[in-house]
Amino acid sequence: MDTRTIARRSFLIGGLAAAVAGSAGAWALDEYVLDHVEVSDAAAYEAASGSSGTTLDTADAVATGTSWSADGTTVTVTKVSTGSGRGTVTYFVADLVLTDATVLRSAFANNQFGENIIEKTSDIAADNGAVFAVNGDYYGFRDSGIEIRNGTVYRSDGAREGLALYADGRVELYDETATTAEELLADGVWNTLSFGPALVAGGQVVEGIDEVEVDTNFGNHSIQGDQPRTAIGVVDTNHLVVVVVDGRETGYSRGVTLPGLAAIMVGLGARTAYNLDGGGSSTMWFQGEVVNEPGNGGERGVSDILYIRG
């Protein structure tokens, strides 16, 4: 654990201790601040499970300011700005064309799986040699949700609507409570994401998403209004789009609502799209730098990323 994480935890512990008292305070500290490590070496755990995925030959990688390609996989990042004044919205689109679905991998903060383990997206990306990375579903904020990462089962407690990315390039929305991680793995799932809600299904904006509350637990009561956002969508087999919307910065980007985010994804050709952790977590890393302006005034620690190794 580096000094940045220690400093953050010290601040949070002091803040929570002042805000709550007695047994409730102890519960909050344990639940939302203190590390609960379940797997201490995720890379070794995945290796032991036999999952590996496709490794790109990057010897002849080609990079420009906005695009990178190697071994048939291409990443193109575009900045888009719409509106004016207080109505300005700025977002970044990463168009991912993959030679194989398993090129898109997941990585955990500090290479550990568990609750409340955090690290900046940029640091996790650098630790894993990523050329492209985006914040994930912040699985570590909760103890439920099916989590399969890089073909390895980490958690099998279904709780909400999830997104399954298959090794054959399929991407599907699914009900976590109607299946198990083991069944999904047997069906060829490579990664799952557990946040939501679904934004786009069958090429259409999902109705009612402006009223969704993902969780009603401490510190995450609502995800409504204009906010920084992160979303992933599928255009075609092995063709994905990832969007990070900046927000909370008047004149640069106010953020968007969930229906607004869904409309962006449809406009990019996504047939299916899913909301990931947003707010101060929304971060896109490309070719060695954070390309957006995280809404926290700087990067916020997250529990996991999706990335392509460079």
- The pLDDT tens digits for 231-257 are 999 999 999 999 999 999 989 999 999
Say whether pLDDT at 261 is over 50.
Answer: yes
Least confident interval from 3-17, 97-111, 182-196: 3-17
Give the model's confidence band at 156: pLDDT under 50 very low, under 70 low, under 90 confident, else very high: very high
Measured in whole angstroms, the distance separating CA 105 from the mean position of its chain's CA atoms is 11
Look up the pTM and report it: 0.89
User: DSSP secondary structure string, 177-212?
Assistant: GGS-HHHHHHTTEEEEE----EEEETTEEPTTGGG-
Q: How confident is the model at residue 186 (pLDDT cuts 50, 70, 90)?
A: very high
Under the banding of pLDDT at 50, 70 and 90, the label for residue 77 is very high
Among left, alpha and beta (phi > 0; psi -120 to 50; other), residue 221 is alpha
CA distance 96 to 77: 9
CA–CA distance, 55 with 68 (Å, rounded to integer): 16
Place 218 in a pLDDT band, splitting at 50, 70 and 90.
very low
Query: Are the beta carbons of 195 and 138 closer than 8 angstroms?
Result: yes
Write out pLDDT tens, residues 266-297. Answer: 999 999 999 999 999 999 999 999 999 998 78
Alpha-carbon distance of 259 to 265, in angstroms, equals: 10
C-alpha 55/C-alpha 252 separation (Å) is 38
33: helix, strand or coil: coil
* 212 pLDDT above the threshold of 90: no
Average confidence (pLDDT) over 175-195:
97
Contact 229, 174 (CB under 8 A): no
Element (H, E) at 259: helix 258-267
Position 204, amino acid: Q
